[in-house]
Amino acid sequence: MYLQIKMKTKEAIITLMKASSCVTETLCQALKPFGISLQQFNVLRILRGQKGNAANLSTVQERMVNKMSNTTRLIDKLIDKNFVKRSICKENRRKIELFITEKGEALLKAIDPVVDECQETIIQKLEPNGKNNLVRLLKQLTK
Amino acid sequence: MYLQIKMKTKEAIITLMKASSCVTETLCQALKPFGISLQQFNVLRILRGQKGNAANLSTVQERMVNKMSNTTRLIDKLIDKNFVKRSICKENRRKIELFITEKGEALLKAIDPVVDECQETIIQKLEPNGKNNLVRLLKQLTK
DNA sequence: ATACAATATTTGTTTATACAAATGTATAAA
DNA sequence: TTTATACATTTGTATAAACAAATATTGTAT
């Protein structure tokens, strides 16, 4: 009785991991031709979301899906490729200001339809109204 | 209209990633005191599931949650710690046979209650019958 | 037998990640 | 004004991952 509840719990956890791993895998493959990692792509999208306003490193970190310990070096790579610009905040010289460049915007514009279609393909597999139910349930897990 | 459908799709994907990342993070923390990674833990559980029978490397790879390119070195680490034994298959010398050791079984016995509780805590946050619905929906994504 | 392809695992190398400690800057207290 | 504390980011280092190429073994066709 208790054992069965436990088993359902295990199944739920493992199914979640597998689904996420499967989606990540698919997205990474889709991004490969663009020479950018999923993490880098997400950071670029965060910067685009700023609509011209600067984002601090700490802000980016907070909004990342996978909080990682070394966002500096991840952004270094985006700067090397000229997708991101970095400058020191004048009001508080401890902070840095991050912007997406035009080249970065152009890259996202090229990637968007590919990723969008990829995501649609994945989510289409859900039963009718599955999307809303899934979102509701998943959100319960993270609070 | 179409835009809204797209947004829901994006939300579903991001929510899935976040939930999974959150669960992984929690599990990794729980495993830390035991000096073993989540991947290593999963491999150990696969080997325990063999109930004395050998598992080949390729079998282990197939069953892993995150298919990774280098299971050899992951298992090397488990062997270094004496949690796993490796030998060459006599029938087919290309294959290797993997077994969990007694020390490995003992480790899992110590870890099990910790991870179980951890998983229960996570899943308890779901609405009534959420567990079954979540599993059903997530499974739709991976096929 | 001999050569060739298929299978199973390992190794080399490059890149990414985690974690702790270090650096530089701002704020507050003595 | 010095000292201490908090904050924001960076760097050092050890470990892990991705990917391709290499090795070893088996099966199969000539």
B119-142 tens-digit pLDDT: 999 999 999 999 999 999 999 998
Q: Are B134 and A8 in contact (CB under 8 A)?
A: no
pLDDT of residue A109: 97
For residue A101, CA distances in Å to A35, A82, A84, A115 come to 17, 7, 5, 20
Contacts of A135 in chain B (CB under 8 A): 8, 11-12, 15
CB B118 within 8 A of CB B26: yes
- The reported pLDDT for the residue numbered A52 is 87
Mean pLDDT of B67-74: 91
pLDDT value of residue B98: 98
Q: List chain A residues with pLDDT less than 50.
A: none
What is the structure's pLDDT at A2?
Answer: 63
Structure token digits, residue B125:
């946050």
Alpha helices in chain A (DSSP H): 2-31, 38-48, 57-63, 71-80, 102-123, 130-142
- The answer to whether residues A122 and A131 touch, using CB atoms and an 8 Å cutoff, is no
Is the CB of A50 inside 8 Å of chain B's CB atoms?
Answer: no
The tokens for A40 are 């880098």
Coil vs helix vs strand at A98: strand
Following CA atoms A101, A107, A113, A114 in sequence, which dihedral angle do they give, to the nearest 10 degrees? -140
Residue B1 has pLDDT above 70, yes or no: no
Q: Which helix (H) or strand (E) holds A99?
A: strand A96-100
A11 CA: distance to closest CA in chain B (Å) = 7
Q: What is the pLDDT of residues B23-35, one digit of tens each?
A: 999 999 999 999 9
Q: Does A130 touch chain B (CB under 8 A)?
A: yes
Nucleotide nearest to B66 (CA to C1'): D17
> What mean pLDDT do residues B47-58 have?
95
Q: Report pLDDT for B143.
A: 78
- Polymer length in residues for chain A: 143
**Beta-strand (E) ranges in chain B?**
84-88, 96-100
Residue A34: Cβ-neighbour burial (10 angstroms; 0-12, 13-18, 19+): middle
Check if A82 contacts B (Cβ < 8 Å). no
Confidence of residue B7 (pLDDT cuts 50, 70, 90): confident
Distance from CA of A78 to the nearest CA of B (A): 21
Looking at chain B, the whole-number percentage of residues with pLDDT higher than 70 is: 97
Which residues does residue A97 pair with via DSSP β-bridges, in sequence order? A87
Contact B14 A131 (CB under 8 A): no
Q: Which helix (H) or strand (E) holds B45?
A: helix B38-48
- In whole angstroms, what is the distance from residue A63 CA to residue B59 CA? 38
- State, as a whole number of angstroms, the distance between the CA of A18 and the C1' of D30: 46
> Phi/psi of residue A84, each to 5°?
-140, 150
Please name each of the domains of chain A with its CATH number. 2-142 (1.10.10.10)
B56 touches strand C (CB under 7 A): yes
Which of B69, B67, B25 has its CA nearest to residue B42?
B67
Confidence (pLDDT) at B101 = 97
Question: What residues of A are in contact with residue B26 (Cβ under 8 Å)?
Answer: none
